[in-house]
Structure 1
Amino acid sequence: MNAAPEGWDLLFTDRGSELLERIGTELAAGADAARLNAGLRRDGIEPPEVAALLTQAELRRAAAAKFGALAQHLLFTRAGLEQASRAPVAALHAERFAAAGLSSVADLGCGLGAESIALIASGIEARPVELDPFTARLAEHNLGVAARRGGMVPPAVRVGDAERLGRDGADAAFLDPARRTAGHSDTRRLASPDDYSPSLGFAFGLAAEVPTGVKLGPGLEHELLPDNAEAQWVSVDGQLVETGVWFGPLARPGVRRSALVLSGDKRAELRAPGPAPDAESRPLGEFLIEPDGAVIRARLIGALAEELGAGMLSEGIAYLTADTEPHSPFARGFRIVEELPVREKELRKALAERGIGSLEIKKRGADVDPALLRKRLRLSGPHRGVLFLTRAGGRHVALLAERV
């Protein structure tokens, strides 16, 4: 487990930890990276080590959004950080295992260790496995930090193919299959679930043996979901982040589809025994409602529409409309100011007449690039607005709106 990019071995030493802490403090105080680079070289640090230190400091700053203050004590790769679960989401995963009374969980494909860190914090024995030796080394460092903070013995990370090594007798399993090509940076997303590692077939097959949770991308097709699983789409502060698929006692009775919305320290969940049929389309009302991405992906727009007394803006378009102001953690509401011309030349003139200088453009069912359109509209003026380019009742519309 000693393979490391050139210069990165320093990060695992006490000297490296001290340097990273110093660099982090100086960057937070506004220090220039180029000057830090020069200073480290004057101190006799080799160029590859300087590059490793500055890269790691940058990754730690980026990781704060997912790991909070703990990020300043962990080690990351760019690719690993991108796939790692956010700490609050991983904590909810661990809650499921704890609520089911499970004492040990095999974290198969542990990456940098985010899920195992949450398991440790919940008092559950984590048994992590990672295919890539260097990522496993980083995970072992990170789990050591988390375990020692809780006065626990750090778990060893088994290195190898999770499908071959298996769960090592653990009560349950959690899998976060790699959905990007191998590497620590500049990776690309895998298009087919057949190429995930561990494979989707292995993950779902394991669920027939022990309670199992599988973290997948939010774009997962419903047709791939087993009938005996609960699928939960999760969004964090408006960003759709994952699909969690849960089996056995980890799946809640009567729940097969759910949308979990996390906003700050608040959480709200829309649950259903299956996908909800879409609501009927209705004429444009005073308000336009934009469902959260988790609701859309979970196919629960119809359930939300019923809750809000709303209808579909147009068949096949994931916007709702209503005559009463919506109040829901599962959607954002907009008051429709007026309908504007759809043709670009006339639209530009209408926006200029209204003094719209700042415009947020949202689109569904319209073949347009919002960024390019905004440039062509040549906006100027003191007012702000939101423009929806979509369909209402089957026809293309441009709706000027304001947030409520």
Structure 2
Amino acid sequence: MGYGFDLEDVAFLRSAAGRDAVAELSGLALTNSTRLNDVAAARKLVGARFAAAALETAVLRRKAESKLDDPVGWLFTDPALQQATASVVARHRAQRLAGRDVHDVTCSIGADLAALAAVARRCVGSDLDRVRLSMAQHNLAVAGRSVALVEADALRPVTRGTAVVADPARRDDAGRRRWNPADLVPPLDDLLDVYAGRDLVVKCAPGLDFAAVPDTAEAEVVSLAGQVREAALWFGGLADPQVRRRATVLRPDGTGWTITDAEPDDCPAVEVRQWIVDPDGAVVRAGLVRHYAARHGLAQLDPHIAYLTGDEPPPGVRAFRVFEYCRYHEKSLRALLRRHEVGRLEILVRGVDVDPDALRRRLKLKGSREASVVLTRVGDTAMAYLCRAERT
């Protein structure tokens, strides 16, 4: 779970000496193999008392580069960075709160607050963790954001008339993810009771059990660059009254598209056509595969499986042009691959109990061509579709 920072550590890291030390340590390799040398360098630079805090900060800033826009100068704890919203996703969520008074009741180190403060009329952040609050104060100053910060329990409101943002802790003490809304800290039901009648958005893990989510919520699943990042539950005036499920697909530049269960879901199941399409994970997780298919004139291979097929894939996706297919048996698949001289193979599996890595080893591929194979169930039959992946 990383180094345990205290307030004295934060005060040092915010000082000129601390800033200079972290900047110098950031130039080190900071790998597992150089760990002992890095620790020795940190102790020589700042002494034993602050060596771990300075070194951990340098490591966390490097990790944050793939998640936050400009983490240079920011302070983190390892759990706070793991739970922090990626900047692109945070900006997307903040747009639905633009022009409002907003209170982030679990503000942590301020990653969401930085995005909210850029578009909200006024912002308040609160948390019970004094170390994270001190880090948030520093980080928001680095980001040039003006936000009032308060030490307060998320379940004891300290503002009125604000839209409320909550990001409950989603890991237990051992670092394992919590999927049940009742196991969040604070629990979802407690947040809903405390902020009843208020406009509220609760950030959750994308693996959340949506069956436990109230019918009054709009549940949004968000992906970024093809990876599902989070779910957000919108309540009150923040929710679209016509929508219960939404999938939002974001690109790294912040552009993207969305689809909801308010759209048609007429989608037949047919035999495979020229293309197979594997919908974005946000669409699958939000239960909107049929809606996505109807929007793009696609059909399902099987009514219970998320693979889609059609004569033309949607623009801007990675789709699979079908060459040949057969019932799936290892022997028949091996013959199919040998016939097409496939030596490098991507294996996609859904609805069939197959370990792709183990199967690839057993196939003992020989050949000069690259291909993809989609293994899936159609009715009671396991099928193998040999394809070429293309960007449309």
TM-score (norm 1): 0.86
Matched, 1:92 2:84: no
- Whether the 8 Å contact between 1:127 and 1:170 is mirrored in structure 2 is no
| Aligned residues: CA RMSD | 2.7
Q: Which amino acid aligns with 1:174?
A: V
- C-alpha change, 1:55 and 1:325, in structure 2 (3 Å) is same
The verdict on how the C-alpha distance between 1:138 and 1:300 changes in structure 2, with shifts beyond 3 A counting, is: same
Q: Distance in 2 between matches of 1:278 and 1:137?
A: 52
| Residues 1:155 and 2:172 are matched in the alignment | no
Counterpart residue number, 1:218: 206
Number of residues of Structure 1 aligned to a counterpart in Structure 2: 384
Find the aligned partners of 1:3 and 1:229 in 2 and give their Cα distance. Answer: 37
Instruction: Decide whether aligned partners of structure 1 residues 61 and 11 sit closer, same or farther in structure 2, where only a CA change above 3 A counts.
Output: same
Equivalent residue, structure 2, for 1:347: 333
**Alignment-mate amino acid for residue 138 of structure 1:** M
CA distance in 1, matches of 2:347, 2:289: 22
| Contact 2:326–2:384 (8 Å) recurs in 1 | yes
Q: CA deviation at 1:395?
A: 1.1
Cα contact 2:100–2:122 (8 A) shared by 1: no
Q: Which of 262, 268, 280 lines up with 1:273 in the alignment?
A: 262
What SS does the aligned partner of 2:149 have? coil
User: Any conservation in 2 of the 1:3–1:133 contact (CA below 8 Å)?
Assistant: no
Q: With structure 2 as the length reference, what TM-score do the two structures score?
A: 0.88
Answering whether residue 248 of structure 2 is matched by residue 250 of structure 1, we say no
Kept in 2: contact 1:314–1:394 (CA 8 A):
no
Q: Which residue matches 1:114?
A: 111
What is the rounded CA distance, in whole Å, between the counterparts of 2:273 and 2:359 in structure 1?
26
Rounded to whole Å, the distance in 2 between the matches of 1:291 and 1:278 is 16
The alpha-carbon deviation at position 271 of structure 1 amounts to 2.7
What displacement does 1:345 show?
A: 4.0
Q: Distance in 2 between matches of 1:350 and 1:42?
A: 62
Matches of 2:362 and 2:57 in 1, distance apart? 40
In the alignment, which residue of structure 2 is the partner of 1:264? 252
Q: 1:227 to 1:167 in 2, by over 3 A?
A: farther
Identity %: 35
Whole-angstrom CA distance in 1 between matches of 2:354 and 2:385:
15
Which amino acid is the alignment partner of residue 107 of structure 1? D
Kept after mapping to 1: 8 A contact 2:220/2:248: yes
State the match for 2:6 in structure 1: 4
DSSP-derived class of the 2:278 partner: strand
SS in 2 for 1:67: coil
Distance 1:394 1:167 in 2: 57
Check if 1:292 corresponds to 2:280. yes
Following TM superposition, by how much is the alpha carbon of 1:335 offset from its aligned partner in structure 2, in angstroms? Answer: 0.6
State the Cα distance separating 1:207 from its structure 2 match: 4.8
Q: Structure 1, residues 174-198: CA drift from partner, whole Å, max 9, x if none?
A: 111111124xxx6111242211112
CA contact (8 A) 1:236 1:261 kept: yes
Q: What secondary structure sits across from 1:136 in the alignment? A: helix
The corresponding residue for 1:235 is: 223
User: Is 2:196 the partner of 1:208?
Assistant: yes
